[in-house]
Every structure is written in structure tokens, then in C-alpha cells.
Structure 1
Amino acid sequence: MDTFLLEEQLRNFLREDLEHGDITTDAIFSDQETATVTLRAREALVAAGMEQVAARVFQLLDERITYSRPIADGQQVDSGQVLMTVSGPVHGLLRGERVALNLIQRLCGIATLTRQYVDAVRGLKVKIVDTRKTTPGLRMLEKYAVRVGGGRNHRYSLSDGVLIKDNHIAACGSIQRAVEKARAAVPHTIAIEVETDTLEQVQECLDCGVQIIMLDNMDCNTMRQAVSMINGKALIEASGGVNLDTVRGIAETGVDIISVGALTHSARACDIGLDW
């Protein structure tokens, strides 16, 4: 993650929660009282964001806050394991608690789910990638968590790559026409990907010389036929209907990439506590 952009985001998250102050903490504690707290996993998980995110949240609130023993991103931890110890003024610890926990619970959830998908296809050549189905405002963090879990990133935003989808094709009239227009407008350094639903569309992509072909919501038998047709002439991405029960079978069809929206839109937040 870009630390300059990340810090700006963290400040905004804190500003949203604090607004004009923490009236409970301010009423009970002075800014001189100190304490030590531990962030602890309450279930098995893949760690993500302890040092870069949680620790930074606390330090933005009070530069006197220190931390120690942060678990490295990507490390598998057991329930009950300490993820990080944080020490400093009580004011800063209490003000930052909710924002820090909200973020790392979300990031660890994504990293943990991604690891499950990566493990499910272990031994095969396929790569597990995310999509743009991210939480508005959290894309950089969520896509980082996917990488922590062992996955890869698809395009970060609409400006990162050409992906001609079904509605582009419907509005334009044909794959060939959409590809011709895109190729005439974008730099030669940007690959063109097209979403297909049928083998006829796959053939149209091959006729157009498309570099990446997405097989969307195809059953495994149809995907095998598509892989045979493409025969190395384009990179093949499978998408749609992917879950932990189906991902291995999809990978075994020979596709190069499997994109999984669930990595970010359906990951359950992990249970992490801040213990005094």
C-alpha cells in the first residue's frame, strides 16, 4: 500500500468517528494516564494490517503511543494468539480502538478467505484474483488484504485496463466492433480483455486477436472446450459461480485465472479483541 495515500485514508476514518471529540474518554481520563493493551485473535485467522494499519491508527492520534510484537502480514495465527501489543496514553488507545479493530477485522477476514481459495487450488497453475466488488473507500486496503492472503489483484480501477463486458457488447452491437473501437483508442501497452458467455463469442474473440478472454458463468465442460479452442492464443480468465466448492473443478479445466468477487464482497470479519 502507498503509505502517503493510506495515511490520508486513516485520518479520514478517525475524523468520521471522532467528529468533535470523544466525550466519554475526555470526561473520565486525563491525557497523562497510560496503559498497555493487546490485540488478540479470538479465532484462527490470517493476519493483515497489524503494523501498517492498526498501529498507525493509534500513532496518528498520539505520537507517544508505541507498539511491539506485531504479527507479520500473511501469517496464520491460532485463536488466543496476541497479534500486537500497544502502549501509551489512555486517551489515544480508547479513541483509536474501534477504527483500528474495524479495519483489521475486515482485512484479516479477506486475507483468511483468500487463503482458503488459494489452498483449494494448490498444485495447479491457476491464479486466484479479486474484482472491483470492493467496499467504497476501502479498495486499496481490501485489495492489499487479498495479496496478503496469497491472491492476486485484477485491475484496480476502470482506468487500469480494457474489459469489454456484456453490456458494452450489447450497446455496441458486437465483440468485433467493440474491440476495434477500443484498440483504436487505447495505448498499445494496454491489453484488451473480453467477457464471453458462449463458445461462439470465444471464437469471435479469437478472430479479433483478443489478448485475454473471460469465460463468464460457463459450466466446466464448456470451459474445457473453450480452453481447447483458445489453445494458448490468449490468457483465460474464469468468472461467475465461483465458491470454495467449485473453485477446484474450475481450476482443473485449464484456465489461467479465476476471479472471485466473494473475496471482498462476502468475506466475514474476523473476531479480534482489544484487551486491557
Structure 2
Amino acid sequence: MDFASLIGIFSGISLIISAIFLAGDIRSFVNVPGMMIVLGGTMAATLLTFTFREVAAAFRAAAFAFTKDREDPNAAVETMIRICNVGRKKGLLELANLEPDSDFLKKACGLIADGSQEEEVRAALRTEIDSLKMRHFAVQDVFKKMGAYAPAFGMLGTLIGLVQMLSKLADPSAIGPAMAVALLTTFYGSLLSTMIFLPIAGKLKTRTISEVMQLEIMLEGSIAVMKGSNPLMIYEALSSFIPLRDRLPLEKMDVRQGAA
């Protein structure tokens, strides 16, 4: 569970609601027509921009990003050193029998065991990384677009409310509800954009950066295994991807030969 995200969302919403309570009545900020304009319009525009499958995939990815902890890059370094030990003691052909959790790493081990050249391995794995970036970009773009659409529909709702207000100036009792729609739709659009959609897009981007770093570690580690580098050299090369304060010393890593 990503507690930082949960704390951010709940604290932000709680502070906004508390400010509303301190300044007046929260019921004044509930307007069904305004919600219909902003939420309905944002979802409609999103479905016009993307396919239903892409939108559903984006929401699944968001749920995954907020519920699963980020992977530790030190674990990837440990895995590559263990694979190095297997290759040095049993030969590179033995890598084909490994069953790593990562499909990416499994592909790398298969390519190495098959006797592929360094350029071929690097090109194949680089294609996998680039494809992952493109898929993740498409998911992030869904929430970026929603973050842009929500304020736009908020302004559209404001115009609708102003037109309704101006058309009923002769009836003072109708001016208040129309003005509420005019103001609250802008509020709803800004709230959804700044508190929900854009932060989710940012969260997905950070997860992409983290996952790409994991794959880069596996790629460079695989090339080092092909070259027959020793575990210390592999550790020094791969730990460079990790900030100094977060690096786990080699002596504290579990790099005993075993399943990757």
C-alpha cells in the first residue's frame, strides 16, 4: 500500500472540507447539475479521445500504482549478482533453466543461454523498455487529458449558469441557483484536476521511472553476465543506478547461488 498517496489524498480533501465547514455550510457546495456537467462532460470527452479499453486500463493502472509498494532496485541488483554466480559456476546455458519473477529477465536469460550476441541482446531488451515506456505514456495521457478537460467543463458550466442567471433576472428567486451552478462548476473542475487527475498522472509517471530503472539494471546486468564480469564489478556498475543513500552494501545482500 502506498501510504504517501493515501495521506496526500485524504489530507488534501480533509483540509478543503474543514475550510468549507469553518467558513459556512458544506451543503452550499453540493450542486447536482454542476457535478453532472463537470463529471459527465469530462468522462464523455475522455471516451471521445481514447477507447474504452484504454480508459479502463488507465484506471486499473492507477489502482495498481496506489495499492502496490514500489520495488526496491537493490533487489534487482541482488538478482543479477545471483545470476552472475550461476553463469560463472554452471555456465551460461544453465540460465535457460532459471525461473525469475520478471518476464523481462526471463527473456534476457533465454537470449544469453541461446548464445545471442551482445548487440542482439541489447537491442531486444531495449525494444522491451521502449515499448513499456509507450504503454505507460498512453496510460498517463488519459489522466493528463482528464486534468485538462475538468477545468474546461467547469468553465463551460460557469457560462451555462451565467446564461441561466441572465435569462431570469426578472425572477430574483432563480438567480441564486443559477449563480451556484456558475460558481460551483469551476470549483468542481479545479478540484478534480488538481486533487485527483493530475496527481494520479504524476504518480504513474514516477512509477514508470522506477520500473524503467529496474529494467535498465537488468539490461546492464545481463550484458555484464554475458561478458563474464565478476560479482563485485556487477555490483559497482549496477549500484550506480541507485542513489548513494539508498544503496545496500554488497556484504549485506543475499547473493547466494539459487533461484533468481
- Larger RCO (CA under 8 A, 6+ residues apart): 2
TM-score by shorter chain over 0.5: no
Determine which structure has the larger helix proportion and give its number: 2
Smaller-chain TM-score bracket: under 0.3
Determine which structure has the larger strand proportion and give its number: 1
TM-score by length of 1: 0.27
